Amino acid sequence: MLLIPFLLPLLLAILLSQKPLQILYKSLVVYLVSLSSQLSVIYSLFDDSFLRDLESFVLQHAQVLISCSFITTQQSLLEEQFKDDREWLFDTEQPSLGDISVQMILNTLRFSPPGKRLLDGASFPNTAKWLARVSTFIEGKRASQAAPQPITGDQAAATIMSSAFESYDVVGFDANEAGRLGLKLHDQVQIAPDDTGKDYPTVGKLVAMNREEVVIEVQGAERLLRCHFPQIGFTVRGMQSHKL
């Protein structure tokens, strides 16, 4: 429907043997004016929450493109690492935690259309061979293990609740590290991943913190829980800053 104001004058010009390029230009101007008017009417039909959601979707798509570029750059570094025909990422006898961590990210990309296009065996042949090699290794290990026994949510909760917890002294509290974030011991904080799940932080009382780890107390339905988060990959904020 939006194309009708643009196509009709052009078709009429062709039928009357007029100069189609001149008519095309004039029709394009008419079309753009008409389109802007129609879009303003269309936008008025939706509430602000829908438009904000649409804006968020567009921004997420842009972020996907940026992430694709980032992953391609990382694959270039991996390709350089494997140029010496090493079997594993850090030239170890068996796959290391580094191999497993990187494999998890690249293997996850296989299940998304943008990700499939990034795993280009022609551009990154050594990386592709390594990915197949470490994936086969992991699948072999998984097949050799006994199948996990399913338990209910209540059973899992009971196991967690009855488990011993680590003393806060093990992690300790680095006041300098906390101070960089404007935090103090026993502050109410929120912790969320810095990639996905940002809108659903875990909230609790800060009880331990060092350069590698953060521990907060969270009151569960049955008892107090201690939640441990790594510093890398998570963002810690005070509840006061959240209210600003």
Domain range annotation of the chain: 4-44, 61-144, 165-243
Cα-based distances in Å from 145 to 84, 150, 197: 33, 15, 31
pLDDT of residue 35: 47
Q: What is the CA radius of gyration of the chain?
A: 28
Burial of residue 183, with CB atoms counted within 10 A of its CB: 0-12 exposed, 13-18 middle, 19 or more buried = buried
CB 82 within 8 A of CB 134: no
pLDDT of residue 244: 45
CB 132 within 8 A of CB 103: no
CB 213 within 8 A of CB 166: no
Please identify which residue in the block is written with the tokens 């389109």: 35
Report the alpha-carbon distance of residue 238 to residue 216 in Å, rounded.
12
Of 155, 220, 210, 150, residue with least CA distance to 177? 210
pLDDT block averages, 10 residues each, the chain of length 244: 46 47 50 48 59 57 63 87 94 93 85 74 90 94 90 91 92 96 96 87 96 95 91 91 47
pLDDT of residue 36: 47
90 secondary structure, DSSP code: T
Pairing outcome for strands 188-193 and 202-209? antiparallel
Q: What is the CATH architecture of 165-243?
A: 3-Layer(aba) Sandwich (3.40)
